[in-house]
Amino acid sequence: MNYFFTSESVSEGHPDKVADQISDALLDEFLAYDPDSKVACETLVTTGQVVLAGEVKSKTYVDVAEVARRVIANIGYTKSEYQFEAKSCGVFSSIHEQSDDINRGVDGKENPMDQGAGDQGMMFGYATAETENYMPLALDLSHALLRELAHIRKYEPELMPYLRPDAKSQVTIEYSPDGTPVRIDTIVVSTQHDEFIYPETDTKEASLRADAAMQSQIAHDVKRILIPRVREKYKNMRDIHKLFDDKIKYHVNPTGKFVIGGPHGDTGLTGRKIIVDTYGGKASHGGGAFSGKDPSKVDRSAAYAARHIAKNLVAAGVASEVLIQVSYAIGVAQPMNIYVNTYGKSKVNMSDAEIAKKVESLFDMRPKAIEERLKLRNPIYLETASYGHMGRQPEKVVKRFESRYMPEPVIKEVELFTWEKLDFVEAVRKAFGL
């Protein structure tokens, strides 16, 4: 019997994602000037207000208010009617120095490779062969919808001139019993918008008619502009492209109106979209958020490393679906365990426990080794803070950091999303005799 699975995504203007991006922009700024910075910062955003808190140990100074305002402006909160605007919002900082009790478990080792984990916990990585980027299809489509909607809002506003920054998407996929995607069952898109149709009279009925007219226009544009553009992005992936048929059910702004949104409509917090950030609910999650944390925090670095392992195992042909778990104790370098689950889809004559032993010999999972292998002591994190940390395209970019408190700008070539590279495929194939 067929079954259904749903994943959601949120836009860069969603209040929780605004918070994530500010936290990661602060992290990047610290790492740009001092790569050894230890950072764990949280952000809260609400009507006209940004609150920054957390712990930092660094040799540099960062104007945190300036960084926060720059992020907010780049997202698109630049109008006073949003009641959350880059230039006028208040920014309150309560960032203080990292606890020595935590720091001594991480630093101060004679051998840098013995650097301990920044905290205890378990982290998961996952990969599946159902898409070209080894991500669950429902989540991949959900991200694609909102990336394209943001592109239209920022670069082709004449197509949908009423768009505001806050938005959410959700996609339900119908699967056959063997786990093959059969069709897209439902697409949900909720986008914040200007009030572009006004009531003819000052009555409730006229107001409801105006709201219905706005909803109808937005639904029309989503189906006639957004969906075809997203479908076109999958034109080289025939198995996915064909899933866009005329039987898809659409729910566009199902409440009927979405003018009040962003941090004014809903308070945002760092780390409150961890399922959007990872695998859309298709895989386990250890519970630790990513944004605002430097790579000594294994919540982030080990989750990236586990994704790197899972993706290379699937790409190498070890299994068509893989879940990796790794766990740590604070201050201890070696992980407590490495666990592998292939969901019965292994293509090698080995148990999952035997696969885990091979993984342990192939991938050094000590925190410092992960930092070096994936080049995580670089300012690469703002780009991760919206539209998912996994399934992204690795690329080299040049980033420039300027501050009136520093004599010169910092210009760095960095590599984004290194954990998405398929650089261990050959080593994996050799180890498994593939």
364 Cβ contact partners less than 8 Å away, ≥ 6 residues apart: 370, 373
Beta strands in 253-403 (DSSP E): 268-269, 321-328, 337-341, 395-401
Q: Is 166 annotated as a binding residue?
A: yes
Q: Is 273 annotated as a binding residue?
A: yes
C-alpha 310/C-alpha 134 separation (Å) is 9
C-alpha 396/C-alpha 352 separation (Å) is 35
How much of the chain is in helix, strand and coil states, percent to nearest 5? 35, 25, 40
The neighbour count for residue 6, using CB atoms within 10 Å, is 16
Q: Is 266 annotated as a binding residue?
A: yes
C-alpha 170/C-alpha 182 separation (Å) is 17
Q: Is 282 annotated as a binding residue?
A: no
Q: Is 167 annotated as a binding residue?
A: yes
Q: Is 170 annotated as a binding residue?
A: no
C-alpha 284/C-alpha 287 separation (Å) is 9
C-alpha 415/C-alpha 378 separation (Å) is 8
Q: Is 98 annotated as a binding residue?
A: yes
Nearest CA-CA partner of 59 in 406, 414, 430: 406
C-alpha 124/C-alpha 282 separation (Å) is 12
Q: Read off the amino acid at residue 148.
A: E
Nearest CA-CA partner of 116 in 376, 290, 335: 335
Q: Is 257 annotated as a binding residue?
A: yes
Tokens of 226: 């957004």
Q: Is 375 annotated as a binding residue?
A: no
Q: Which helix (H) or strand (E) holds 362?
A: helix 352-362
Q: Is 393 annotated as a binding residue?
A: no
Q: Are strands 395-401 and 249-252 parallel, antiparallel or unpaired?
A: unpaired
Nearest-10 Cα torsion for 374, 389, 284, 307? -30
Phi first, then psi: what are they for 78, rounded to 5°? -125, 10
Q: Is 290 annotated as a binding residue?
A: no
Q: Is 404 annotated as a binding residue?
A: no
Q: Is 57 annotated as a binding residue?
A: no
Q: Is 293 annotated as a binding residue?
A: yes
Q: Which helix (H) or strand (E) holds 56?
A: strand 49-57
Q: Is 423 annotated as a binding residue?
A: no
Q: Is 42 annotated as a binding residue?
A: yes
Annotated binding site: 14, 16, 42, 55, 98, 166-168, 257-258, 266, 272-273, 289, 293, 297
Annotated binding site for Mg(2+): 16
Annotated binding site for L-methionine: 55, 98, 266, 297
Annotated binding site for ATP: 14, 166-168, 257-258, 266, 272-273, 289, 293
Annotated binding site for K(+): 42
